[in-house]
Amino acid sequence: MEFDPKRDYPLGTRRPDLVSTPSGVPLVEVTLDAAREGRIGAADIKATPETLRRQADIARAVERLPLAESLERAAELAGVPDEELLAVYTALRPRRATAEELETWAARLEGYGAVRTAAFVREAADVYEERGLLAHG
């Protein structure tokens, strides 16, 4: 059956067949018992890019456009290692990075396919420059 963003919400209830972990474990097998027994690990608790994109489609179908955009950025970031995400988050704090460092982060994010998020980092760099919030390197 084809995915219908208006009919299939909530995914976990109406279309659990479309939801799985990054390692391919079906949603119905993601249980507390499975975690206790070691059949799933911490990485299996993360949303997949596919699930996040479907959630974005659902948000867009009900005209929740800002939520859809956020979910699309989250889908991009699902493939970025946690350490990288934490580092870019830290770099985006005021006075933590220079314009050049933020550009380097944007380019790295693009390397992961996170084009929307890279644009966000570049926009933040511009705003930080206007407001005097960049680090001086």
The mean predicted confidence, pLDDT, of the chain is 95
Taking 80 as the threshold, does the pLDDT of residue 137 lie above it?
no
Please tell me the predicted confidence (pLDDT) of residue 43: 85
Query: pTM for the whole thing?
Result: 0.83
What percentage of residues in the chain have a pLDDT greater than 70? 100
CATH of domain 80-137: 1.10.1510.20
Closest C-alpha among 34, 31, 29 to residue 17: 29
Domain locations along the chain: 1-78, 80-137
Per residue in 27-84, pLDDT (tens digit) is 999 999 999 999 999 888 889 999 999 999 999 999 999 999 999 999 999 999 999 9
Please tell me the predicted confidence (pLDDT) of residue 40: 92
DSSP letters along 18-54, please? G-B-TT--BGGG--HHHHHTTSS-GGGGSPPHHHHHH
